[in-house]
Structure 1
Amino acid sequence: MNRAEWIPANVCQVVYERGQFSWTHSKRDPTPQEPRAWKKAQAIARSVLDDRHHDITRGATHFHARRVQPAWSQELEKTVRIGDHIFYTQR
Structure 2
Amino acid sequence: MSYSLRMSGAFSTVLALSFMLIGAEGSGAVAQDRTPQIAAQALAAEPEITAPDTAEAPLGADTALDRDTLAELVAAQPVAELPRELECLAGAIYFEAKSETLEGQLAVGRVIVNRARSGRFPASYCGVVFQHAQFSFVRGNAMPVVSRTSRGWKTAAAVARIAHEGTWQSAAEGALYFHAARVSPGWNLTRVARVDSHIFYR
Where on the TM-score scale, by shorter chain, does this alignment land: which range?
0.7 to 0.9
Code of the aligned partner of 1:50: E
1:1-20 equivalence runs, <5 A: 1-6=113-118, 7-8=120-121, 9-20=123-134
Higher helix share: 2
Q: How far off is 1:28 after superposition?
A: 8.7
1:64-75 equivalence runs, <5 A: 64-71=179-186, 73=187, 75=188
1:42 counterpart residue number:
157
Contact 2:137–2:143 (8 Å) recurs in 1: no
Residues 40 and 78 (structure 1 numbering): CA distance in 2 closer, same or farther, change over 3 Å?
A: same
Structure 1 stretches of at least 4 aligned residues deviating more than 3 Å after TM superposition: 26-29
Counterpart of 2:177 (choices 38, 54, 62) is 62
TM-score normalised by structure 1 residue count: 0.81
TM-score normalised by structure 2 residue count: 0.39
- How many angstroms apart in 2 are the aligned matches of 1:31 and 1:81? 29
Higher strand share: 1
